Amino acid sequence: MTTISAELVKELRARSGAGIMDCKEALTECNADMDKASDYLRKKGLATAKKRAGRVAAEGVVASYIHMGGKIGVLVEINCETDFVAKTDGFNEFAKNIAMHIAATSPLGVVPEDIPESVIEKEKEIYRQQAMEMGKPEKMIDKIAEGKMNKFYKENCLMNQMYVRDTNVTIADVLNDMIAKTGEKITIGKFVRFQIGG
């Protein structure tokens, strides 16, 4: 059996933000392989995040971000379960980063359901029209429009967007990591994005 040194545990803890016992368990399960242990913790965090989905997130912060020169500003509500977590540096940094991401990407809503039906219908109609003009067969048109709608959601729904600070992960991934680190249900609530002349 592989002996897990305190240094290894410390390193994984710094990398993942998980608790000491969780880090030790992950390293033991993964034969001290740091990358595998990180993945193990992430998966465990996601499982725990699902368990927390039914809990109430009534605390939190309203974070703001003003882009250089004051041309773009964002206010976003990030909720958690306790005032204790809401006051931590990690939580506040997360909230600030989400506000900055919104300033950069200008999403239309947090999830697809937030986007007005009229906007979705208009987009679908445009994609159907494009497919028809390309001479695609009738039975393919809806499938093509659906594929383009998925791309539309990836670009316009906050949770589906690739994170501007790490384009290998989505905002949903970043949120789930934060849930795993804090051990609380965290939700991204409403946001407003202001842009001068926009």
pLDDT in tens, 132-142: 888 888 888 88
How far is residue 8 from each of residues 11, 37, 40, measured CA to CA in Å?
A: 5, 11, 15
- pLDDT for 48 equals 58
Pick the CATH number of 59-110+157-195 from 3.30.479.20, 3.20.10.10, 3.40.366.10, 2.40.10.10: 3.30.479.20
> Cα–Cα distance between 75 and 55 in angstroms, integer?
24
Class of CATH domain 6-52: mainly alpha
Q: Of the ranges 35-44, 63-72, 86-95, which one carries the lowest mean pLDDT score?
A: 35-44
Contacts with 8 (C-beta within 8 Å, 6 or more apart), sequence order: 27, 32, 34
Tens digits of residue pLDDT in 29-67: 888 888 888 888 777 765 555 655 666 677 999 999 998
- Please provide the CATH number assigned to the domain covering 116-155: 1.10.286.20
In this prediction, residues 3-12 reach a mean pLDDT of 82
> Cα–Cα distance between 140 and 155 in angstroms, integer?
23
Q: Which amino acid is present at 60? A: G
Q: Of the ranges 4-8, 71-75, 122-126, 193-197, which one carries the lowest mean pLDDT score?
A: 4-8
Percent of the chain scored above 70 by pLDDT? 90
- pLDDT for 101 equals 97
> Mean pLDDT score of the chain, rounded to an integer?
87
Is the pTM higher than 0.75? The answer reads no
- pLDDT for 126 equals 92
Buried residues in 38-77 as b, exposed as e (16+ CB within 10 A): bebbbebbeeebeebeeeebebbbebebeeeeeebbbebb
In this prediction, residues 163-179 reach a mean pLDDT of 93
Q: Of the ranges 91-95, 101-105, 194-198, which one carries the lowest mean pLDDT score?
A: 194-198
